[in-house]
Amino acid sequence: MSSSSDRTPPLQSDAFVLLVSDRPSECAALGRAIAFVIHCRSLGPGDAPGPGRPVFAILDLAPSRLQAWVRQLDARSPPVPRLVLARGEAGRPDAHAVVMPTSASRKAILSKAFAMIEAATCSAVERTRRLRERAQAAKGIVSELFDSAALGGTLTRSELDRGTEIVLAAVTEVGISNWLAELWRHDAGVYEHTLSVSGCCAAFGGRIGLSRVDLARLARAGLLHDLGKARIPREILDKPGRLDANEAKLMRRHPELGATLLTAQGGFDPEVIDVVRHHHERLDGTGYPDRLKGREIADLVRIVSICDVFSALTERRAYREPAKPAEALAIMVQTAGHLDQDLLSAFAPAMLGCEPFVL
C-alpha cells in the first residue's frame, strides 16, 4: 500500500479560475456556472489581477483590452492556459489558448471551459509532483556535496551536473516563484539557500538569453558558491541569532575555503572557482576576501552576488522576517557601489513576480 506521501498532492484550497470580461451580465452567468466546479474570480478589464496564479483563465474582452491580458498571462511561468472569446474575426489560437467566437452558445462555451479546467488542473497537479520530487532530489545532491567537502572527499561531477539539470528543469517548468516557495516550505538552512541562489541564477540567466552552456555554468556556480561553508562548524551555521565578532570572522573564510577545495580537486571551470572565492566582493572594494573593486570583479561573479544577496534578504531567519521581493530589490538598489546596477536592473523584472503562488 502506498503512503500518503506517495500520492499525487492535490491542488491547494485557494486554486481558482480567472474570468475577465467587459460584459457584466455574461460574466456573472459564466462565473456562477464555473463556481460549481472551482472557485471563480471575476474581474473587469481594468481591474488588477490580484494575488495568486489561476489554473485557467477565460478572457471575454474587446480586442483593445485583450492583448494586455494575454501578455500578463503569458508572463507567468509557465503561461496560464486560457479560453478566449473572440469578437469579429475568430482570432488565432496559440500554444496556450483556445479561441471561440462570442456568438457560440453558452452550453458550448461551458463545455469547452470545463474540459480545459480539467486538463489544466491535472497538469498543475503533475507539475506540483515533479517540483516536489526535484526539490527533494536537489537537496539530497547538495547535502552529499557538502558532506564530501566537509570530509575531504572528492566531489562527484556527475552528481553536480545532475543537480544543475534539476534546478534548470524545475525553474524552466514552474518558474522561480514556485521553486523558492517549495524550497522553503519546511526547512531553512544552507542547502535551501544554495538551491535558492542556483534557482535565481537559472531564472536570471534565462531572462537575459544566456546560451545553454553558459546557463548551466551559471546555475552550477550557484550550487557551489557556498561550498566552503562545509568547513564551518555547524553550531555557527545553525546559530539562531546573529553571529558574534569571532564567529563572523570565521564565517567570512568560507569563500577562500570553497575555492581552495575546488582548486585542489581540479577539473572545475576557473570562472566557477572565481565565483566561489569572490561572490562577497563589492564594486566599491568593501567586500572580501581580496578587496576587489570595479572591473576586477567578473560578470559571472557579479550575477551570482546579486542572486546571493536577493536570496539572503528574502529567506527566513530566526532573528528577522523575510523581505518581500520588492523590498529586497529596493534595499539592493539603495546600497549603491556594492552591486552592478545595470545587471540589477535586468534582474529585477525576473524577481518582482516572486511572491509564492498556487501552481
Cα separation of 100 and 252, whole Å?
60
- The whole-number pLDDT of residue 6 equals 38
Options 3.40.50.2300, 3.20.20.70, 3.40.50.300, 3.50.50.60; CATH of 4-123: 3.40.50.2300
SS3 73: helix
Q: What DSSP assignment string belongs to 135-170?
A: HHHHHHHHHHHHHHHHTT----HHHHHHHHHHHHHH
To 5 degrees, how large is the angle CA 26–CA 57–CA 103?
40
Q: What DSSP assignment string belongs to 278-312?
A: HTT--TTS--SSS---GGGS-HHHHHHHHHHHHHH
Within 13 Å of residue 350, how many CA atoms lie on the same side as its CB?
A: 24
Residue 247's region, left for phi above 0, alpha for psi from -120 to 50, else beta, is alpha
154-351 maps to which CATH number?
A: 1.10.3210.10
Mean pLDDT value across the chain? 87
- The whole-number pLDDT of residue 158 equals 94
Counting beta carbons within 10 angstroms of the beta carbon of residue 193, is it exposed (0 to 12), middle (13 to 18) or buried (19 or more)?
buried
3-state secondary structure 4-29: HHHCCCCCCCCCCEEEEECCHHHHHH
**pLDDT surpassing 50 at residue 2:** no
Cα separation of 184 and 192, whole Å?
7
Residue 340: pLDDT band with limits 50, 70, 90: very high
pLDDT for 58-104, tens place per residue?
Answer: 999 998 888 888 888 887 767 888 999 988 764 566 778 899 998 89
15-19, 67-71, 283-287, 350-354: least confidently modelled range? 350-354
Select from 278, 309, 141 the least CA-distant residue to 270. Answer: 278
Per domain, the residue ranges of the chain are 4-123, 154-351
pLDDT for 188-217, tens place per residue?
Answer: 688 999 999 999 999 999 888 899 999 999
- The whole-number pLDDT of residue 272 equals 97
C-alpha cell of residue 84: 478566449
Cα separation of 143 and 204, whole Å?
24
CB 331 within 8 A of CB 313: yes
- The whole-number pLDDT of residue 353 equals 58
Strands (E), 229-283: none
> Is there a shared CATH topology between the 4-123 domain and the 154-351 domain?
no
- The whole-number pLDDT of residue 77 equals 65
Task: Identify the DSSP state of 317.
Answer: B
- How confident is the model over 45-52, as a mean pLDDT? 82
Cα separation of 242 and 319, whole Å?
7
135-139, 160-164, 234-238: least confidently modelled range? 234-238
CB 132 within 8 A of CB 182: yes
What amino acid is encoded at 175 in this protein? G
- How confident is the model over 297-315, as a mean pLDDT? 95
User: pTM score, two decimals?
Assistant: 0.77
- The whole-number pLDDT of residue 13 equals 54
84-93, 169-178, 263-272, 345-354: least confidently modelled range? 84-93
Element (H, E) at 67: helix 63-74
pLDDT for 238-274, tens place per residue?
Answer: 887 888 999 999 999 999 999 999 999 999 999 999 9
